[in-house]
Structure 1
Amino acid sequence: MSKKIDAALKDLKKALNAHADAVGGSAVSLKKAQRASSKVAAAASAYAEAVHTKSGMGNPFDDMAQPGLERATIASLAAERDSIAHHLTGPIQVQKQT
């Protein structure tokens, strides 16, 4: 196995274990759970990048369903966000009420 893939896998396992500890108890701290989720996402991205760099293979997590929102909704929200950001790059125009 590639050293970079092995290191990324080790980090991903560590992040998953920390996440399980954060959300597996009887009292779950929202901040701690969110922080742990963020670390899992970052570690998964790093692992996917290491795999792609070494083998050219795609992201092994692409087919996973996102809990909560459907992919189409996420894509629509991302497009709307990008459109708003694009329009806000210049001066903000205030519209007068009619």
Structure 2
Amino acid sequence: MIIALTLLTLRVPTDAITHDYLLSQSGLEPEREERVVEMTHIGLSREWGDCPPELIQRVCGHLDVRYGGVDGYLDSIGFGAEDRARLVEVLGA
């Protein structure tokens, strides 16, 4: 989620963020079962070990409805415009 928020802050298109996110599924596959055991131990379902294709769109929709977008959400958690400008500067975007 941190990576997705960072990419949204950098104004990366959501389709590109979704594509990148979905690549995580195969990368996590070798340790998936171990992680699922950990997740179920703390009360999460097995689905938490997957990368659902609609997740990024749903997160963006939630941020839009609840906070007016990613900037509104980040403002609400104290990561303001100056912080976001610095992030863009540091990452060279």
* TM-score, normalised via structure 1 length: 0.28
TM-score by length of 2: 0.28
If each structure's helix is expressed as a fraction of its own residues, which one has the higher value? 2
Which protein, 1 or 2, shows the higher relative CO under an 8 Å CA cutoff with sep ≥ 6? 2
